[in-house]
Chain A
Amino acid sequence: MTTPAAIERELAELRGKTAGDHAGTRTHIVDLVAYADDPAIATELGEVVAMMRHHRPSRALIASGAPGDVTAEPAVFCSPMQEGGAIVCCEIVRLTGPPAGDALTSMIASLLLPDLPVFLLWLSPPPLDRPTFHNLAALATRLVTDSTRFPTTLDVLGSVARQEHLVVTDLAWTKITGWREVVATIFDDAEHAALLPSLEHVAIQHVAGSDAQARLLVGWLATASRATPTTSIEAVTHEDMRPGSLVRVELTCGGHRFIVDRPSEGMATIDVPGRPIRRAALRVPPFGTLVGEELEFLAPDRAFEAALERLPPGAR
């Protein structure tokens, strides 16, 4: 039977060992708590966090459900933040425990570092209405979900946020930041901005597997333009892009058509009437970077909350 004190002792020892000659410092930014029903997802997340170079959590408690007693596997990862800089350590505790009941969540509560915001990364499909979620949500400053992985999460997130009084975001939203920025550039031109309220139609192509990113982009465009566009969302296959990634966005505004295309990873083309085709950098960051980006923010993301309210129906 493991205890929080034993885990703390082991972490302190590992920190000394892993950092080598240089005393390893733990960051003091955030606690990350993650829960996945599927142990494989929890393991994957553990690996991702261990590889994160920047914006990493001070302590990550990554749990998945399993029958029997609570088990814990503490680990410490240390590296310098910049060449010659201080060695910074991140602690990761991989936990398993009964998916129902309070054993696992009480262990997590006692392992949180004091005074830090807590990010709850919920990597399980809906429904969220279950005790483990409630217990963890009660500890959390902010809830982060991943609807690229579990698309129907988007349909419950708004009400969960209200019920649990939580600040929420979704990694699918973080993923489309680049797309939003590229689309936004079209309307930096005052002439085009004037057309935005007459946004009539949004057509999106995305890689099959999840329509979450596409729906969020539509929700965003609908709220920010204050228009009520019709929508078409189409799943396509694209070998070298990840499931759910956006491929093409076509906006019809006041009879004009604006097209952003992503022919390959890293680059988008922007086609605006009367202008030569323009290119823009558009690389969707990997999972670890997305998680890191989210850990940077504490305040509610109003644009996301608004987009949630204007989602087009999902393909189910």
Chain B
Amino acid sequence: MDTNPLRDTFRMHRVPGPCAVVIFGGLGDLAGRKLVPALYNLYLRRLLPAGFAMVGVGRRDATDTEYRAEMRERCARFSRTPVTDAEWEGFEELLHWVGGTFDATETYTTLARRLEEIGVARGTAGNVMFYLSVPPSQFPVIVDGLGDSGLAREEPGRFRRAVIEKPFGHDLPSSAALDAEVHRAFKESQVFRIDHYLGKETVQNILVFRFANGIFEPVWNRNFIDHVQITVSESIGVEGRGKFYEEAGALRDIVQNHMLQVLSFVAMEPPSSFDAEAVRDERGKALASCRPLLPSDVVRGQYSAGFSDGDAAKGYRNEDGVAPGSDVETYIAARLMIDNWRWADTPFYLRTGKRLPKRVTEVAIQFKRVPHLPFSYAAAEQLEPNVLVLRIQPNEGISLRFGAKVPSERVQIRTVNMDFQYDTAFSAAPAEAYETLLLDAMRGDGTNFPRQDAVNQSWRIVEPLQESWTRLGGGPHLYEAGSWGPEAADELLARDRRRWRRP
């Protein structure tokens, strides 16, 4: 690619080198809802390489034509830009299907043969990215298949990569076991773990915000920051995924991956460069400094019947696929401490839940109060400490709360918001996370993918909880659907003389 002098002339060039993308589970939910629509949009944006092909693999018997027709339907439903005939015709030629079960040797022999043919026809130069869009139980089978058939083997000038989806295990031992499985066939540098939060523009912007501006980093530490609140709230319930959720719970579904990853962006030290390894080293170090969560610092909740977005909502135990006596948590509030020079004694409060009043993901940095207020009590009664809020979704942006004089003859201070909104600053909608991540993986840029050390660290952090919940039993606190969670969560902060923000 670097040998193409025409490429250097573009103001924005992110087009990856030639490669084929193989999607195991190519007819699955994720493939049809996110992956293929993302590839279609990349095609429309001319960000796919000229030498490109996609091969879906799964147990269903289908021809290329049938597969293309099915994908057209899904793209028509899920693509962010409409599907038109002329454009679809160009795109669908790139899609292929290989039917076969994941445990059969023939599946990989057939796949290897098709990749060979397609590679010659489409000029994919022998580069292949395998995307495992299948339930985790299938990972080991597929990795073995790829390893045994030689498909995972890289040669000079020819890459082979594996992209895997969460969950990366369900605790530290299973994550380590999964990792060992994957590494039987792939080196760590070949592995890309998807955490779609890291594909979000606003998460990536945390680094730019912190390290491209002179005024924030000097106060980004325990001397000026009182505490940090990270909120990931959803207004929806489990939406028909009850069976899946029973196995996961909020801790594994959100806290262990997305929230701790976001935390690592907020807490990390400045990297020496924006190179993938340098950035991931720092994120890994931040997680390594986190104390494991103790049950006494965590509140579990589960939603009961209530109202959500104006409609009556069932309780979790009445959702389809959920056991009537289920103790699975749909809500977590936690107090997490980081043992390093920057953050000692500065709590990070994490909160996530389903059926909360609204959908919002944000990081709120609450600063310390001023050491001395030279105003009367009456004047400053309504003054709150400064808060910097990084809104990750929706209404992506940043706001700063500070005190201002209320216009009147007296001195009266009130807290006001200074608001920056992505929308209005750039008047452009942010790109889809899966488009960004697929492109990054094709280009071999691992910056926005958690490395195994980070995954291990995050399991280490949540491990004592899992252990004690299993050992001691006890269930979650119930909270009404549509509320901000159980009272115990408020008490958790009240203990520290603090309270939750209302996002």
Contact = CB atoms under 8 A, between A and B. Distances in A.
Interface of A: 25-29, 54-56, 80-82, 84-86, 88, 177-178, 180-190, 193-194, 196, 220-221, 223-226, 264-267, 270, 275-276, 278-283, 297, 299, 301-303
B378 interface: no
B46 A275 contact: no
Contact of A281 (B7, B43, B123, B425): B43
Contact of A55 (B6, B84, B428): B428
Contacts of A281: 43-44, 46, 87, 90-91
A25 B424 contact: yes
Nearest to A190: B3
A188 B421 contact: no
B90 A85 contact: no
Contacts of A180: 6, 9-10
Nearest to A28: B425
Contacts, number: 130
B87 to A, nearest CB: 5
**Which of B17, B91, B421, B427 gathers most chain A CB within 10 Å?**
B427
B394 interface: yes
B427 A280 contact: no
B353 interface: no
A188 B7 contact: yes
Nearest to B85: A266
Contacts of B424: 25-28, 81, 86, 88
B96 to A, nearest CB: 14
Interface string B1-23: 10111111111000101100000
Contacts of A297: 11
A316 to B, nearest CB: 27
A150 to B, nearest CB: 24
A85 B18 contact: no
Given A188-B18, A281-B43, 17 more contacts: A27-B426, A55-B426, A56-B427, A85-B394, A85-B423, A88-B427, A180-B6, A180-B10, A187-B6, A189-B125, A190-B3, A196-B5, A267-B86, A279-B89, A280-B46, A281-B46, A281-B90
5 contacts: A56-B427, A184-B7, A188-B17, A281-B44, A281-B90
B51 interface: yes
A297 B51 CA distance: 29
Contacts of A282: 46
Contacts of A194: 3
A282 B408 CA distance: 60
The 6 closest A-B pairs by CB, nearest first: A185-B50, A279-B90, A303-B9, A81-B423, A184-B6, A266-B86
* Chain B contact residues: helix, strand, loop or mixed: loop
A41 to B, nearest CB: 24
Contacts of A25: 421, 424
Nearest to A263: B86
Contact of B423 (A86, A221, A275): A86
A204 B49 CA distance: 24
**Which of B10, B46, B429 gathers most chain A CB within 10 Å?**
B46
A265 B8 CA distance: 27
B395 interface: yes
B231 to A, nearest CB: 19
**Which of B6, B15, B429 gathers most chain A CB within 10 Å?**
B6
Nearest to B120: A275
A270 B51 CA distance: 12
A82 B429 contact: yes
Nearest to B430: A82
Nearest to B43: A281
Nearest to A267: B86
Contacts of A270: 50
B66 interface: no
Contacts of B89: 267, 279
A102 B477 CA distance: 73
A78 to B, nearest CB: 11
Contacts of B429: 54, 81-82, 85
A220 B10 CA distance: 11
A224 B9 contact: yes
**Which of B49, B90, B424 gathers most chain A CB within 10 Å?**
B424
B93 interface: yes
B121 interface: yes
A232 to B, nearest CB: 21
Contact of B10 (A26, A55, A279, A303): A303
A257 B15 CA distance: 24
A282 B45 CA distance: 9
A88 to B, nearest CB: 5
A302 B5 CA distance: 14
A288 to B, nearest CB: 12
Interface string B117-133: 00001110100000000
A188 B4 contact: yes
B5 A189 contact: no
B87 A193 contact: no
Nearest to A220: B9
A115 to B, nearest CB: 13
Contacts of A182: 46
A184 B90 contact: no
Contacts of A196: 5-6
A81 B427 contact: yes
A177 B1 CA distance: 19
A187 B86 CA distance: 24
Contacts of A283: 44, 87
A85 B86 contact: no
Contacts of A184: 4, 6-7, 9-10
A264 B123 contact: no
B445 to A, nearest CB: 18
A54 B427 contact: yes
A220 B5 CA distance: 11
Contact of A187 (B4, B46, B93): B4
A266 B50 contact: no
